[in-house]
A and B are shown apart, each in its own frame.
Chain A
Amino acid sequence: MNLGTRKILDRSFTAVGFGSIAVMGIALLIVLVPIITNGVGSVFFTGTIEHRKMLFNEFGRGNTEELAKENAASEEYRKQIYGMLSAFEAELETMETEKKQDYLSKYGPVKTALQTLIGPLPGEPEAILTRYKYGQTRWGKAEEKLHEFLYETKWDYSNPDAMSKEYFVSRATEFEGTSLVKLFPFVEEHLEDVLRPEFTVYWGFLTDSSVDSHIFGGIWPEIQGTFFLAVGAMLFAFPLGVIAAVYFTEYAREGFFNSILRSANSTLAGVPSIVFGLFGLAFFINTLKVSESKSVLAGSLTLAIMILPTIIRAAEEAILSVPKTYKEASLSLGSTKWNTIMTVILPAALPGIITGGVISLGRAAGETAPIIFTAAVSVGSAIGLADVFSSPTPALSWNIYNLASEHEAAAEIRHVQYGMVLSLVSIVLLLNLSAILLRARISKKLKG
């Protein structure tokens, strides 16, 4: 081959290598950036008066006087809207039956759309579900709902070869010639006066319990559940893992038995996470009956088994990286083997062992599949510490799945989902980051 071609090949080879690392970095950014930007929106957003009303009624937060003042200002415009509605209803009564029926069928959706936008209308029976007691609490969502109020969404099926297309019909044109026509431009123009958007910082998102299955409120039950599950798993797995690592590094003799133990370790590390879930269900719940049905305890035990191999490996590596001279010095002073392990080797290896533990803690917090059958419920309040042996808990990982794919109003509460994902990702990444920093410090220290 030509030397020039060889050089080009060499350069492009390097470029491919750089390229794939760049792709990984870009992929990381593509995944993280929307999660972070949208997730932040669950705490910092433009809230409407409905949000403040909701906070006041459901959580008893907010200033009574200010809210009353705001309410009065908003009520001024609401009254005009209600006035238009009742004027139209009166007009309906004067119409012929056929025309009246026609308008009534169109008027229903208008009322519903208005209700989702600004909250319950006067004269309606009080809603049972909390979600119908308030209008839009977030201004961004309110603008979307305004569009739904102004335009009817229709689908065009005329071309059978292509996918149906969405198009919008202005509602105002449908009510041409009636008194209701005025309503649409009025709402469009005065929505800000009615809903009074204001920049809001809602830290309660992290510390409040959820209201009406996450339509309002925060994600505290999930955060707490994740904490219980992950810490519970560590309580079981960490001591076991460290002791097993001590055995493997200090006591085990090469041989058939030892190689079986090692194979078992790597087999356990390779078991698909959903199979752990099956095992947890079949063993901890159906056979051992650690609890009646799903419980935090069963979930923690399942997670503990899952993270055990990681902890053992990390602890082994940490123990092996302790310089041999430490051990020899201790033994030459007449210390017993056990004493050497407890007073010299383990303290020196401790930072490394903790690094492994922290990474495993993050893994336990982020896993979903093992807890589906053993610990997670979709709706629930925060549980007390005494209930961990008997009751299941909501958890961040499970509820992200549940809200995004099974919730009946999944598209309405994207901000909650993003907030949950961001919380989970930041918990896991912060744990990992601290592990990375810790490891960097150790390697500096060992280098001297």
Chain B
Amino acid sequence: MMSEDMQKESGRSGAFIVSAQKRKMQKLAKTGGESVLLLIASFVAIVVLFIFYFVAVDAVPYFQLRGFREFFTSSNWYPAGEPGEFGALAIIYGSGMVTLGSTLLSVPMGIAAAICLSDILPFSVRQYAKPVIEMLAAIPSVAFGFFALVIFAPLLQTHGGPILMWAWWVLAAPFLLLAVIVVSDLLTAKIEDQNRRQQISLVLLAVFALGALAFLYWVGSVLQGMEIITGTNALNVSIILSFMSLPTIVSVSEDALQAVGRDMREGSYALGATRAETIVKTVLPAASSGILAAVILGVMRALGETMVVWMASGNSSHIPEPWFNYLEAIRTLTATIAGDMGEADQVTGSARYHVLFAMGLLLLVISFFSNLVSERIVVRQRKILSGQ
């Protein structure tokens, strides 16, 4: 009787309390499941290791065959020659040139747009501005490349001078005017007498404005007279690349600006600062590291872009004369890898094949370190702003 009861009891209670064996099974399944999850999550890390390994494995034979010196110091790029020459200096220089050019254009514009999105535009307008940026980010690079090659390059070649002049006027005139106002105001700031100050300031304004106008006109006419030999040049690519890296810069720096709290802004306003002063003197310094991270990501976007530079940079491996001449055709690392592989993969194992992997490794290493740096910066900023 007793044992039967006990059996009944335990049988009944089994529905609520898991038996030891079953608990063990569950625990096993849990750890098993979790380790499968972990395995899948570490798949990304494994892939990164594999990418480094397999690109490096094919890059090392090049350096074994030819050493480091030629690659980094010579600008003679004749891979198909007998024997081939593999000086990548001009190619590395070309990559640096378009990256610098696009950064110079995209960073000021991107930060200004990010400030506008985070601090100036009302929410209802922001809703329409954001999709524009997302669309700019979504357009495939080959479409930008096609635009650069088929529409922009001929335009630049035939009407390059006037285009440059107009761009110069539109961009420089407002800033110069502003600079004139600020300078004349600063110069007269020490004068005590209100009336005299206004008079002197007006005179200074007129003088400076005339000077600025003359300067604008002079540079404009120089630009207009410029003859552009080829539309597929570093300038074309820089402009297109800057629009491609803008979305990255805008969205990352907007996040950084948003991360600076309301209290900082309100403190600044309370001290009587205008919105511009608040942003420039308070918000931007606080968000500076995040913005730096955004700039790094934008630079990487421009450096790693392939299709636009391949289609529209002219692919001519030489350092321009003079060194800052953006109107000459150049060649970049990415375009060289893409363009030369078609012939080089027939000769797997030769220096001609492995040098392309060496270029890939160079790009990979640069992107790895800049990513690491930008990530560090973002983490540090988050810590500082959260007051730790």
> Would B132 and A24 count as touching, CB distance under 8 A?
yes
Contacts of B363 in A (CB 8 A): 272, 274-275
When chains A and B are docked, how far (Å) is the Cα of A400 from the Cα of B144?
11
Contacts of A264 in B (CB 8 A): 44-45, 47-48
Contacts of B371 in A (CB 8 A): 266-267, 269-270
A-side interface residues, number (CB < 8 Å): 91
Smallest Cβ distance from A4 to chain B, in angstroms? 8
Given contacts A18-B120, A23-B109, A251-B38, contact A404 B51 (CB under 8 A): no
Given contacts A9-B274, A34-B147, A428-B140, contact A272 B304 (CB under 8 A): yes
Task: Mark contacts of B206-243 with chain A using CB atoms, 8 A cut-off: 1 yes-contact digit, 0 otherwise.
Answer: 00000000000000000000010100000000000001
Of A53-61, A101-109, A362-370, the one contacting chain B is A362-370
Given contacts A275-B51, A436-B131, contact A424 B140 (CB under 8 A): yes
B-side interface residues, number (CB < 8 Å): 93
When chains A and B are docked, how far (Å) is the Cα of A239 from the Cα of B243?
33
B70 on the interface (CB 8 Å rule)? no
Task: Mark contacts of A374-403 with chain B using CB atoms, 8 A cut-off: 1 yes-contact digit, 0 otherwise.
Answer: 000000000000000000000001101100
Of the residues A21, A269, A404, contact of B116 by C-beta under 8 Å: A21
> Would B44 and A309 count as touching, CB distance under 8 A?
yes
A248 on the interface (CB 8 Å rule)? yes
From 190 to 226 in chain A, residues with beta carbon under 8 angstroms from any chain B beta carbon are none
Q: Is the interface of B mostly helix, strand, loop or mixed?
A: helix
Smallest Cβ distance from B123 to chain A, in angstroms? 13
A186 on the interface (CB 8 Å rule)? no
> Would A270 and B143 count as touching, CB distance under 8 A?
no
Number of CB contacts from chain A to chain B under 8 A: 271
Given contacts A274-B304, A278-B360, A282-B357, contact A10 B140 (CB under 8 A): no
When chains A and B are docked, how far (Å) is the Cα of A373 from the Cα of B340?
11
When chains A and B are docked, how far (Å) is the Cα of A20 from the Cα of B242?
12
From 97 to 150 in chain B, residues with beta carbon under 8 angstroms from any chain A beta carbon are 108-110, 112-113, 115-117, 120-121, 129, 131-136, 138-147, 149-150
When chains A and B are docked, how far (Å) is the Cα of A112 from the Cα of B111?
57
Smallest Cβ distance from B365 to chain A, in angstroms? 10
A16 on the interface (CB 8 Å rule)? yes
Smallest Cβ distance from A5 to chain B, in angstroms? 4
Smallest Cβ distance from A84 to chain B, in angstroms? 37
A287 on the interface (CB 8 Å rule)? yes
Of B1-9, B305-313, B317-325, the one contacting chain A is B305-313
When chains A and B are docked, how far (Å) is the Cα of A99 from the Cα of B368?
72
B40 on the interface (CB 8 Å rule)? yes
Of B52-60, B77-85, B260-268, the one contacting chain A is B52-60
Given contacts A279-B50, A436-B131, contact A24 B243 (CB under 8 A): yes
From 23 to 40 in chain A, residues with beta carbon under 8 angstroms from any chain B beta carbon are 23-25, 27-28, 31-32, 34-35
Which of A21, A240, A405 is most buried by chain B, counting CB atoms within 10 A of its CB? A21
> Would A366 and B140 count as touching, CB distance under 8 A?
yes
> Would B334 and A369 count as touching, CB distance under 8 A?
yes
Other A-B pairs, 11, CB within 8 Å; known A244-B41, A261-B44: A31-B139, A162-B227, A163-B229, A264-B48, A268-B48, A271-B51, A282-B57, A305-B47, A305-B51, A372-B341, A432-B134
30 A-B pairs with CB atoms under 8 Å apart are A9-B178, A10-B275, A12-B174, A20-B110, A20-B116, A21-B116, A23-B109, A24-B133, A35-B147, A248-B41, A266-B371, A267-B367, A270-B367, A270-B368, A272-B303, A272-B305, A276-B51, A305-B47, A312-B44, A359-B138, A362-B138, A366-B139, A367-B141, A369-B141, A398-B142, A400-B143, A405-B149, A405-B311, A424-B143, A429-B135
